[in-house]
A and B are shown apart, each in its own frame.
Chain A
Amino acid sequence: MLKKIRVTLSILLFTLITLYFLDFRGYLPEWIQWLTKIQFVPALLALNVVVLVALLLLTLLFGRVYCSAICPMGIYQDTVAWLSKRVNKKKRYHYSKAKNGLRVIVLASTVVAFIFGFTLLVGLLDPYGAYGRMVTHLLRPAYLAGNNLLASIFTAFNNFTFYKVSVYIVSVSSLVIALITLLGIGYMAWRGGRSYCNTICPVGTLLGFLSRYSLFKVRINEEKCNACGLCAMKCKASCIDAKNRKIDYSRCVTCFNCLESCKRNAMKYRPNVPWKKKRQPRIVENQEPTGSLDASKRRFLTALLAISIPAKNLIAKVGSESPLSKRAFKRQTPIMPPGVPSIDHLLQKCISCHLCVSKCPSRVIKPALLEYGLGGMMQPKLYFDRGFCNYDCTVCGDVCPTGAILPLTKEEKNHNQMGQVQLILENCIVYHDETSCGACSEHCPTQAVRMVPYKGVLTIPEINPEICVGCGGCEYVCPAIPFKAIYVEGLTMQRRIEIEHDEVKEIQIDDFGF
């Protein structure tokens, strides 16, 4: 019964949170975003005390229910483990000793790195963030492709229920990291069930520490138990030491698989009752990490760093050697999503779950490479190759579960400056070709770019960076080739701008005028 509840609940929550990432048409109700806000690390970063207290209490009362039913990465592992059992029917789990040394080291380094402002490690290891990236970079393209297939079928019959969307790789580095996560954690789950949760996952370690003291636990009735070991074979956390009739509660994820396996009804999930007091054997291990996952990630990051520095220079070189007289722009500071107060704030709060990347209707958010430094790798930045930030849209701040992107009202968004417009006049069509254009000004919601009289009846852009919101409409649409004539320069701090509007004057037109 307990297992059935757990399975139902976890499948439900897992499906909803996954669909929430995928749902680009906004079909799902708003409240589903709470599934991202009740995740442990996001709640911690957002300083969401209510959720944190609730999660800690939940663990102290019932054990690691978070890991078994709420964490989407946990359920992903269960799914993989379940599949592995379907493939190999004879598969059995075995008790293994706790790798507490590794657990503590990973948790401690994550915390220390975080305190010293290196959030990348939390970002890489946090199960929610890692799962978010898997959905955003691996599942979402497939989902969109499926949508497009349906769209072409339906459109052929003149039905426009579905519409096509472009499918593309948002960021190669994030895709690779997502793939490594999927395969690495997937491999561990295939081999040994919840071994990621009980060796590397910092949230698992932390909650595991609490769950030793939880009220409700799976308890073995030593009088009934004959140490047959059936339960240990079913334990995907490998935490039941059947021989000694002991359970390592720090690793138990309350999946309840053991309860149903016991033929003698010797296992019960129940509150602590006075029991014969026994000290837990203290296991001091000094084992090296067994999984190759962490090492490969590190290797990848080092390699990436090593490659990207010369690559960047190479690209810059190609640009400078070009024989064209016009010049290319180079953004000095990346543009942060609207509602991020400062780069420091972003670096501290963002775990790169890429929910904003998935949810941005204008698709202008993508993971950074090294623009924010190594610690800010994969954190969101704006780019205007495929669109520009909609003036009235506040979606990224609304969905961000960690408070890295703070929510803005429409009024605040309209006055929020995330970048400033820059004009390279020699690249401009009007200047260069002396023909009309005005595409930049056309898209500018505040008229920070406006067209002023130029030669004859021509008009030419004039910029006022003070009232620019940095939406990138001008940069996106500027038709000048090979180099754009207008672009947005990022800011390390976003700020509120004031925009003056003329008074509304009543103008009466009573005549035809011809």
Chain B
Amino acid sequence: MDRRKFLRAVALSGAALTTIKEVDAMSILSQSFEAADGASKYDLVAVLGGEPEVMFRKAITEMGGMSNFINKGDKVCVKPNIGWDQPVEMGANTNPKLVAEIIKHCLDAGASEVTVFDHSCDDWRKSYANSGIEDAARAAGARVVPAHQESYYKSVSIPKGKSLKNAKIHQAIVDSDKWINVPILKNHGGAQLTISMKNYMGIVWDRGFFHANDLQQCIADVCTYEKRPVLNVVDAYRLMKTSGPRGRSLSDVVLSKGLFISQDIVAVDTAATNFFNQAREMPLENVTHIRKAEELGLGTTNLEKLRIGRLRV
């Protein structure tokens, strides 16, 4: 039995076991995740030229305000990229000012609590601290929770996935009412780019499975998990053009001062890829998980069809 067969057998038997749960899952699936009931003028807003928090304020206003996405009393999870033990200047982690601003908006919109976590690649204590996110998020009123042990994760099924049929997802997401995906735009050696979809890898426990079973397909698959983020906010204030996702030196980083926000994860990643393409050539075709996600019905790469707000600070 080779690896593929073995893993397929494991995946299939796993999937078979979870079918019992799927009945419950389907009822949630049938709910619409479109919280924005047409109040927003735009499907996607792009902002250039400001500080992270200023760009976010502008963008969320154009999207109709945070109360368009968060209801009073909601338990909200904000999921930045806190993957690396790197300082802010390296652009390896989401900008802490942006994370703090989003938390404040959630609390102002009446969120009962805001949780922040990431399944870091480097030592999680160092990553949480040195990224500046732990302090910033706490100061903004969020609860920063650990994600370094399997016991913090809950098994869920991914019925629409092609390679990934089930996964262990962090309880902060599973137990939340709403969650906001806050990636940073970076080059990635394997996946070419890491944006909103790739940021999902920080909510799962077993990343190794992704890498071993068609990484690009698994990234698209995990995004079909029934609980979708109510917003994807792409931090492109700093953009790591090379040596990503960890980065080696400041020569990898461009101060690009951009921010993209949308409910459509495919569209926002498409827009961010096009933006990245200006710093270093990166055709959309190279970032294959974006097309795979479109095929799974997660959104559109055809930005022409969308109402896009383009703003400058």
List residues of A whose CB falls within 8 A of some B CB.
Answer: 158, 160, 163-166, 361-362, 387, 390-393, 429, 433, 435-439, 441-447, 450-451, 457, 459, 477, 479-482, 499, 501-505, 507, 509-514
CB distance from B303 to the nearest CB of A (A): 5
Chain B contact residues: over half helix, strand or loop, or mixed?
Answer: mixed
Chain B residues with CB under 8 Å of A443's CB are 121, 246
CB distance from B273 to the nearest CB of A (A): 8
Q: How large is the interface on B (under 10, 10 to 19, 20 to 34, 35 or more residues)?
A: 35 or more
Chain A residues with CB under 8 Å of B216's CB are 435-436
List residues of B whose CB falls within 8 A of some A CB.
Answer: 3-4, 46, 48, 85, 121-123, 125-126, 143-146, 148-149, 151-152, 188-192, 207-209, 211-217, 239, 241, 243, 245-246, 248-251, 254, 256-258, 270-271, 274-279, 285-286, 288, 303, 308, 310
B209/A479 in contact, CB under 8 A: yes
CB distance from A509 to the nearest CB of B (A): 5
In the complex, A487 Cα to B18 Cα: how many Å?
36
CB distance from B28 to the nearest CB of A (A): 23
List the A residue with the shortest CB-CB distance to B83: A442
B48/A512 in contact, CB under 8 A: yes
Chain B residues with CB under 8 Å of A481's CB are 3, 212
Chain A residues with CB under 8 Å of B146's CB are 160, 163-164
B189/A512 in contact, CB under 8 A: no
Chain A residues with CB under 8 Å of B123's CB are 361-362, 387, 390, 393
CB distance from A415 to the nearest CB of B (A): 13
Chain A residues with CB under 8 Å of B143's CB are 158, 160
Chain B residues with CB under 8 Å of A390's CB are 85, 122-123, 126
List the A residue with the shortest CB-CB distance to B270: A514
List the B residue with the shortest CB-CB distance to A514: B274
In the complex, A119 Cα to B29 Cα: how many Å?
65
List the A residue with the shortest CB-CB distance to B250: A504
B285/A457 in contact, CB under 8 A: yes
Which of A433, A442, A512, A514: most chain B Cβ within 10 A? A514
A509/B190 in contact, CB under 8 A: no
B121/A446 in contact, CB under 8 A: no
B190/A442 in contact, CB under 8 A: yes
Identify A447's interface contact among B125, B211, B243, CB under 8 A: B243
In the complex, A459 Cα to B148 Cα: how many Å?
29
Contact A441:B248 (CB < 8 A) given known A164-B146, A457-B285: no
B189/A459 in contact, CB under 8 A: yes
A438/B215 in contact, CB under 8 A: yes
CB distance from A343 to the nearest CB of B (A): 27
Chain B residues with CB under 8 Å of A437's CB are 190, 211-212, 215
